[in-house]
Amino acid sequence: QVQLVESGGGLVQPGGSLRLSCAASGSIVRINAMKWHRQAPGKQRELVAAITSGGSKNYADSVKGRFTISRDNAKNTMYLQMNSLKPEDTAVYYCNADILSDTYVYARNYWGQGTQVTVSS
């Protein structure tokens, strides 16, 4: 059974930094694209950043220049370094990945349980 677990969320003041982690576990054969999404209260879930298995990265315009996505394929782990945080970054952050396991013929899409990030003074 494949599982994604996020960590690193918390309360931070505006202008501060946090580093989120997303660890994948289970009978993993290969992890394809990995993504960070977020959902603020009363708003739709939105894509924040994405990274391919080869390391190509994309960011939402709202976080470009402030957030950095990365991954360690040997550890099946993805990261999101968040700098210059703003109150509008407050949301639950979810990791999402396309993972091929030894259970299924094709890669399936998995979600973590989310981690709360609150930016407030």
Q: Measured between alpha carbons, how far is 120 from 71 in angstroms, rounded to an integer?
A: 28
In the predicted model, is pLDDT for residue 104 greater than 90?
no
Q: Measured between alpha carbons, how far is 5 from 3 in angstroms, rounded to an integer?
A: 7
What is the per-residue pLDDT across 55-88, written as a single tens digit (0 to 9) for each? Answer: 999 999 999 999 999 999 999 999 999 999 999 9
Write out the two tokens for 108. Answer: 């399936």
Residue 95 is predicted with a pLDDT of 98
Q: Which amino acid is present at 38?
A: R
What is the per-residue pLDDT across 10-60, written as a single tens digit (0 to 9) for each? Answer: 999 999 999 999 999 999 999 999 999 999 999 999 999 999 999 999 999
Q: Measured between alpha carbons, how far is 108 from 35 in angstroms, rounded to an integer?
A: 14
What is the per-residue pLDDT across 28-40, written as a single tens digit (0 to 9) for each? Answer: 999 999 999 999 9
